[in-house]
Amino acid sequence: MDTRELADFLEAVRRGDRDLDWLLSESGPQGGALEFCRHGLWHYMLDADLRRSDEGYASMQEGELVRLIALLRDNSPGELLSKIHFLGGSRV
């Protein structure tokens, strides 16, 4: 999956049209930009219950996802992508 496809996929996740299960599974895509943001995306996927119960946390994670998508669309280096961790403002 190239960087543009990953950004498009994450946009679909954001809209609620896709989920991260396949993307992060062992049978999902490997390598590329995904390897730099996989850890953060795991946090995002596992925190779905927290987003449902905590509006502030949901807003923070939504902002992180928007930021990650923008970085992907800008073809930012992997070191920058890996700073989006979904656990608080990444300041990227």
Domain assignment present for 34: yes
- Number of folded domains in the chain? 1
Domain assignment present for 86: no
pLDDT band of residue 91 (cuts 50, 70, 90) is: confident
Contacts of 47 (CB under 8 A, 6+ apart): 57, 61, 86
- Structural domain for 50, as ranges: 3-81
Average pLDDT over residues 3-24: 95
- pLDDT at position 92 is 78
Domain assignment present for 91: no
Domain assignment present for 30: yes
Domain assignment present for 89: no
Average pLDDT over residues 17-35: 93
Domain assignment present for 88: no
- Asked whether residue 31 carries a pLDDT value surpassing 80, the answer given is yes
Dihedral angle sign, alpha carbons of residues 4, 41, 86, 16: positive
Domain assignment present for 92: no
Q: Which two tokens stand for residue 76?
A: 């930012």
pLDDT band of residue 89 (cuts 50, 70, 90) is: confident
> Considering the chain, what percentage of its residues have pLDDT values greater than 70?
100
Domain assignment present for 87: no
Q: Which two tokens stand for residue 19?
A: 């989920």
